[in-house]
Amino acid sequence: MACRISELVIDAADPDRLAAFWRKVLGYVELGREDDGSIEIGPPDAGFGGPQPTLVLSPSSDPRTGKLRLHIDLNATDRDQDTELERLLALGARRADVGQTGTESWHVLADPEGNEFCLLHARLQPL
């Protein structure tokens, strides 16, 4: 293997709010803050460089235009897809329409700032 994804950086109008949402969704903890207002979150026992990438929520006042060119796919680890969907909606996710037909096995959602992500059907083993 030549490379591995270590971090995903997401521009955020409100990094604190978005970090709080994604910490709850992923079971991550805050790993650190930078002087520019960026917040890094990641797995509690591994942090940066572990088997899962960390997320960096970076402050930005630039408005989003058009469709995202990258999105995150999630899989539940300890519950079925329907139960996880209800949990994500309760945390502040909302359903998003990106042109799906309704027959997909996944759900398209958006985080509190409108960044789309998908909840896939398959359940994965926890790390």
* Domains of the chain in sequence order: 1-60 (3.30.1900.10), 70-127 (3.10.180.10)
* Model confidence at 68: pLDDT above 80: no
User: For the whole model, what pTM was predicted?
Assistant: 0.90
Alpha carbon distance 81, 83 (integer Å)? 6
* Model confidence at 14: pLDDT above 90: yes
Percent of the chain with pLDDT strictly greater than 70 = 99
Alpha carbon distance 69, 77 (integer Å)? 26
How many CB atoms lie under 10 A from the CB of residue 44?
13
Calculate mean pLDDT across residues 4-17: 93
Name the more confident of 110 and 50: 110
Q: Express each pLDDT in 111-123 by its tens digit.
A: 999 999 999 999 8
Across all residues in the chain, what is the average pLDDT?
A: 92
